């Protein structure tokens, strides 16, 4: 399965592997119910869930690494400066409502 955070997962069955996981009984029961109601296999649903989770978490980690690279390169704005700009935007917005 291939996923990215902005699109649905696509299933590719030509290159798959097996993974055994332990689940709480309640989660397994809910997966059984979902599989029955959607007429999908538990394996398909679990694979979709794992692929989506991995894509989401990797996107977060990538964002963190980009932020750290920005800090190392000096591409940052001091907190006080940002807060000053935010307060000015809020003040301008409040003036527009009156």
Quote the domain boundaries for residue 78.
2-14+21-97
pLDDT given for residue 10 in this prediction: 60
Q: Given a cut of 60, is residue 5 above it in pLDDT?
A: no
Residues contacting 44, CB < 8 A, separation 6+: 11, 35
Structural domains counted in the chain: 1
Q: pLDDT digits over 48-75, tens only?
A: 999 999 999 999 999 999 999 999 999 9
**pTM to 2 decimals?**
0.68
């Amino acid at each position: 399965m291939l996923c990215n955070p902005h699109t649905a997962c696509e299933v590719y069955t030509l290159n798959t592997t097996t993974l055994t996981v332990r689940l709480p009984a309640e989660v397994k029961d809910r997966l059984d119910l979902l599989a029955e109601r959607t007429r999908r296999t538990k394996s398909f649903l679990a694979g979709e869930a794992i692929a989506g989770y991995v894509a989401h978490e990797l996107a977060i980690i990538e964002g963190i690494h980009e932020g750290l690279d920005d800090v190392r390169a000096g591409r940052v704005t001091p907190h006080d400066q940002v807060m000053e700009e935010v307060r000015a935007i809020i003040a301008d917005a409040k003036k527009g409502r009156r």
